[in-house]
């Protein structure tokens, strides 16, 4: 099953639910392959992982670049998972789209309108994150920059906004789920890892997002979070992710949701 077919399934099955998981950044062959193997063993259909990383400071790890994309492609070959990874720039876009099944546009590029237009002309699903300083009106307009160019396969991701509260890294705007669902027909998923900022808050935010009606979750998972080159505090280890999935599945099952798994063509 390719990503377009998978996307259409996500969208057509109103009560469907999709897990996306994987490391913040691709760091090594061992890291990404072991994570993919673990996730696919749980039936997770989509692997996330950044090869180009938008980092606040220029002195921090900026991603492996094309070498990282190649590792993601190997993980796909070995597991059959679909791969989502970020294109930070129009110049990366061609390269990223050669490797990715789903192209991610990050929060800091949510109003990079030229990038939005370009990805609107590519025939692959787009995972568009809300800018952490953007209103929902602006977010919907950003999606329109993509869809106006022809690409209608858009996944919207609420990932937290900037507020005065500093106990968490960002404030998850859980209301975005019902508000976006009534304004657009695209699947709306939640990234609980970035607003949480700390691993121990990821599970309750995941439960909340699921119960609020999100079409899926996108979660950072790493074999050894304390050694991660980015976002080490918020990534889950395998055991934590499995526990999270078990508890989220309870809600999904109780509320009659269909968990989408990767299926061979």
Does residue 133 touch its own copies according to CB under 8 A?
A: yes
236 and 205 Cβ atoms separated by less than 8 Å: no
Backbone angles phi, psi at 107, to 5 degrees: -60, -40
Q: Which stretch binds its own copies (CB under 8 A): 7-15, 23-31, 174-182, 220-228?
A: 174-182
Query: What is the phi/psi pair of residue 154, to 5°?
Result: -120, 135
Asked if residue 115 binds its own copies (CB under 8 A), the reply is: yes
Task: Report the residue from 4, 70, 74, 144 that binds its own copies according to the rule CB under 8 A.
Answer: 144
Cβ pair 65, 86 in contact under 8 A: no
Identify residues 230-259 at the interface with its own copies (CB under 8 A).
Answer: 247, 250-251, 253-255
Q: Is 178 in the site for its own copies (CB under 8 A)?
A: yes
Query: 3-class SS at 219?
Result: strand
Rg, C-alpha atoms of the chain: 17
CA torsion angle for 2, 182, 196, 43 (degrees, to 10)? -30
Give the one residue of 55, 97, 237, 259 binding its own copies; rule: CB under 8 A: 55
The residue (of 70 and 144) whose beta carbon lies closer to its own copies is 144
With binding defined as CB under 8 A, does residue 63 bind its own copies? no
In 3D, which of 246, 241, 245, 249 has the Cα closest to residue 34?
241
Q: How far is the CB of 88 from its own copies (least distance, A)?
A: 6
Q: What is the DSSP letter of 22?
A: E
Q: How far apart are CA 62 and CA 229, in angstroms?
A: 9
**Of these, 9, 42, 211, 259, which contacts its own copies (CB under 8 A)?**
211
**Residue nearer to its own copies on the CB measure, 51 or 172:** 172
Nearest to 83 by CA among 132, 39, 118, 113: 39
Q: Using CA atoms, how far apart are residues 162 and 160, in angstroms rounded to an integer?
A: 7
Interaction with its own copies in 5-34: which residues (CB under 8 A)?
none
6 or 145: CB nearest its own copies: 145
Verify binding: residue 65, its own copies, rule CB under 8 A: no
Asked if 177 interacts with its own copies (CB under 8 A), we say yes
Residues in contact with its own copies by CB under 8 A are 54-59, 88-92, 108-109, 111-115, 117, 131-138, 141, 144-145, 148, 161-168, 171-179, 182, 195-196, 200-201, 204-205, 207-213, 247, 250-251, 253-255
């Amino acid at each position: 099953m390719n990503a377009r077919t998978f996307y259409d399934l996500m969208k057509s099955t109103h009560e469907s639910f999709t897990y996306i998981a994987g490391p913040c950044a691709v760091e090594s062959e061992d890291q990404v392959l072991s994570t993919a193997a673990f996730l696919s063993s749980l039936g997770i259909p989509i692997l996330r992982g950044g090869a180009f990383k938008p980092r606040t400071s220029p002195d921090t790890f900026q991603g492996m670049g094309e070498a990282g994309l190649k590792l993601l492609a190997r993980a796909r070959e070995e597991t059959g998972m679909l791969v989502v990874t970020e294109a930070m720039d129009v110049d990366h876009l061609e390269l990223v789209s050669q490797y990715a099944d789903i192209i991610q546009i990050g929060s800091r590029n949510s109003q990079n309108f030229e990038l939005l237009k370009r990805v609107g002309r590519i025939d692959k699903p787009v995972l568009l994150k809300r800018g952490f300083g953007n209103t929902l009106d602006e977010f919907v307009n950003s999606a329109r920059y993509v869809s106006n160019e022809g690409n209608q396969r858009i996944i919207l991701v609420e990932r937290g906004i900037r507020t005065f509260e500093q106990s968490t890294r960002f404030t998850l705007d859980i209301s975005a789920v019902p508000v976006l669902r009534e304004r657009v027909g695209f699947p709306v998923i939640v990234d609980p890892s970035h607003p949480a900022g700390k691993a121990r808050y990821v599970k309750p935010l995941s439960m909340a997002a699921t119960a609020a009606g999100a079409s899926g979750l996108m979660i950072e998972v790493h074999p050894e979070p304390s050694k991660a080159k980015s976002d080490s505090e918020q990534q889950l280890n395998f055991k934590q992710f499995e526990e999270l999935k078990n508890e989220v599945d309870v809600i999904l099952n109780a509320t009659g949701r269909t968990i989408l798994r990767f299926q061979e063509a």
